[in-house]
Amino acid sequence: MDVRAELVEGRRAIPRLGRLVEVNRAHPPYATGAEVKPVTAFLRDLALGDSSPLTCRSYGYGMLRWFRLLLCTLQPDGLSCLRRLPA
């Protein structure tokens, strides 16, 4: 059975790797626990575009879910850098 079907049927869990933390700066107000430069750059640009800090938080969590899903569905060695992120 493929990974997508296992996820939909609840027979496979998405790994709980990575995190989003509030930081003491305005741009960006949220960052990944272990810095992922493209994500930090995106959140900074979003914050500088006059978005609410909660919008940055929401987008950050959305990207975290996306990377977790990628980790689950791609080849194990394809995203090995995410495995090193603290939970």
Three-state secondary structure string covering 38-75: HHHHHHHHHHHCCCCHHHHHHHHHHHHHHHHHHHHHCC
The two structure tokens encoding residue 13: 């869990």
Confidence of residue 78 (pLDDT cuts 50, 70, 90): very low
Mean of the pLDDT values across residues 57-85?
73
Query: In the prediction, which pLDDT does 32 show?
Result: 81
Mean of the pLDDT values across residues 28-36?
82
CA distance 62 to 67: 9
Model's pTM, two decimal places? 0.72
Mean of the pLDDT values across residues 19-41?
84
DSSP 3-state of 20: strand
Read off the pLDDT of residues 6-18 as tens digits, 9 standing for 90 and up: 888 888 888 888 8
**Are residues 22 and 32 in contact, defined by beta-carbon separation less than 8 angstroms?**
no
Q: What is the mean pLDDT of the chain?
A: 80
